[in-house]
Copies of this chain bind each other. A is one copy, B any other.
Amino acid sequence: MPLSRLPSAAMDQAMRLLGAAGQEEAAIRQAAWVARCVGRGESAPLTPEAVAALAHTLKQHRVERGTLLFQGGQPAAGVWIVREGRVELSVGSGRRRAVVGVLRPGDVDGDISLLLDMPLPYSARVLDDATLLSLTASDFEHLLATSLPIARRWLSSVASRLAASQGRLLGLLGRSLTAQVAQLLLDEAVDGQVPLPQRTLAAMLGAQRPSLNKILKELERDGLVGVRYAAIDVLDPDGLAKLAR
């Protein structure tokens, strides 16, 4: 999931200053932001036409905390792009719940199921009041089928997700829970913070919450992390990296 996490404060301010008259321009900016999020494209620069095509098909949604964006097993309705807030991807429920990942601004989902024409493998629930962008299935396919720069960029976006997924696989295989926790905290930290409850972190490792809590207290005792309410502070990334190996 380590797609580009871009500071969007400056952008938001610019949008406010523009006002209603610049609605068209705001849409273009939105599209350009998405284009930056969807992969890198040094070898496929985006044409103004491609950005405009994106701008006209993107829809914006305000979604409140707790909303179920989609449910596992159903066909994908379209592509979701997180503009602001977080979205949790999970399977199962109760004590057998596993968290596949947590989307943050700049992350994309739903496209894989569309590309492969398979049902969604997990459910998505919105963690904070959020702003989301969406593409319908047909708009998405049309974009890919007509714009090579967009297809090329989307390719690198999916590639980076694959690399992240394989990295997480390696982080789990044959490692002690301590090493897994250290790795997870490093992966998920943004600005030295991991704003997730221990229950969720445990579900991301397929571990029990008490086991995770024990390890977190050990890490805190060693000065590597700070444990707060529904959040972990990463105090010593280098020390964690040493544990994670």
Contacts and interface: CB of A to CB of B under 8 A. Distances in A.
Interface in A126-175: 141, 144-145, 148, 151-152, 154-156, 158-163, 165-170, 172-175
Contacts of A144: 43-44, 152, 155
A63 interface: no
A46 interface: no
A139 B220 CA distance: 51
Nearest to A166: B165
A32 to B, nearest CB: 21
B44 A112 contact: no
A121 B158 contact: no
Nearest to A154: B155
A102 to B, nearest CB: 14
A100 interface: yes
A169 B77 CA distance: 24
A91 interface: yes
A72 B207 CA distance: 29
Contacts of A152: 144-145, 151
B121 A156 contact: no
Given A148-B148, A173-B205, A206-B174, A121 B166 contact: yes
Interface of A: 40, 43-44, 91, 96, 98, 100, 111-112, 115-116, 118, 121-122, 141, 144-145, 148, 151-152, 154-156, 158-163, 165-170, 172-175, 203, 205-207
